[in-house]
Amino acid sequence: MKAQRSKSSSTLCDLALGESGILEEFDMPQSIAEHLMNLGFVPGLEVLVARSGPGGNPRVYRVDGTEVALRRDLSRCIAIRPLRTAEAEMR
């Protein structure tokens, strides 16, 4: 089972509710990226779209044991490698 590797095309925003991916890169000002990393958004970790708020924005992500809400425009700046559902279940 091979996960697709398309660095620039997939962002956190593209994941549907219940899907997960591996964090890769942050395309945003350093201070915001650092704040995200302090909250557990560290490249290499798995992130799951846990919930979608009323109206679908912001959404709640589960990463490293905590839940964090982000707007779609910010999640679009976070590059990820999507995990297939089966692969996510195995992890």
The CA distance from 58 to 61, in Å, is 10
22 binds another protein (CB under 8 A): no
25 binds another protein, rule: CB under 8 A: no
Is 53 a binding residue for another protein by CB under 8 A? The answer is yes
Residue 25: strand pairing partners: 79
Selected from 18, 67, 85, 87, the binder of another protein by CB under 8 A is 67
Q: Cα–Cα distance between 8 and 35 in angstroms, integer? A: 22
User: How does DSSP classify residue 14?
Assistant: G
Residue placing its CB nearer to another protein in the complex, 8 or 54: 54
Contact 66, 40 (CB under 8 A): yes
Contact set with another protein (CB under 8 A): 28-29, 31-32, 34-40, 42-45, 51-55, 57-58, 60, 64-71, 74
